[in-house]
Chains A and B, each alone.
Chain A
Amino acid sequence: AQKVTQAQTEISVVEKEDVTLDCVYETRDTTYYLFWYKQPPSGELVFLIRRNSFDEQNEISGRYSWNFQKSTSSFNFTITASQVVDSAVYFCALSLGGGGNKLTFGTGTQLKVEL
């Protein structure tokens, strides 16, 4: 069975600080997909990124960057120059290559960015 671990329950930073959210996953499948979602207080889960198991390229999108390392089964998420609007719960998730698209979520990291 697959598992996603987000060891950081809550992180508090001051605006403009950089912050990294950790994600470690477990699966025996060779084909899988990793995701990050943002959940602001409004409740909607906002899709941020999908990464395929066969593509270890890191990705940058504006202030967001993702570091995927199969050797350590990690898919970490860094926010550069954090802003108050980044305050939310962030979920890392995994789905397998087969049908069904069942997302296995981590427990989430609550990020609080203060002025």
Chain B
Amino acid sequence: DTEVTQTPKHLVMGMTNKKSLKCEQHMGHRAMYWYKQKAKKPPELMFVYSYEKLSINESVPSRFSPECPNSSLLNLHLHALQPEDSALYLCASSQGTGGANTEAFFGQGTRLTVV
């Protein structure tokens, strides 16, 4: 079983809605990530948080807003999304962000559909 928990597992939202994706890990990891994965494509990095601070933003549109309330939680706030934002959103965590502690452990993802 994964130790990274994502909720909800499925989400359908309209283009004017505001919703949030949640991610939680209890492995004591200090780095957390959001990835986006379109069908039949590899995951693409969106954001990296290291010690609760945003360290990487891969030029993600502002309609995606990450938040890291504490070292165990990571949220992704969604607002005014487009249908092309429909994808699997994966959260991951790792002990650190460099050197040997680089293996990331992923959650099961949230399958998002924007209508």
Contact surface of A with B, Cβ cutoff 8 Å: 33, 35, 37, 42-47, 50, 52, 91, 93, 95, 97-103, 105-108
Q: How far is the CA of A46 from the CA of B43 in the complex (A)?
A: 13
Contact present for A50 and B42 (CB under 8 Å): no
Interface size on B, residues (CB 8 A): 30
**How many contacts between A and B, using CB within 8 angstroms?**
65
Secondary structure of the A contact surface, majority rule: loop
Q: Which one of B11-19, B77-85, B101-109 is at the A interface?
A: B101-109
Contact present for A45 and B102 (CB under 8 Å): no
Of B2, B48, B88, which contacts A100 at CB under 8 A? B48
Contact present for A99 and B106 (CB under 8 Å): no
Q: How far is the CA of A97 from the CA of B48 in the complex (A)?
A: 16
Any A CB within 8 A of the CB of B86: no
Q: How close is B1's CB to chain A, nearest CB, in angstroms?
A: 10
Contact present for A100 and B108 (CB under 8 Å): no
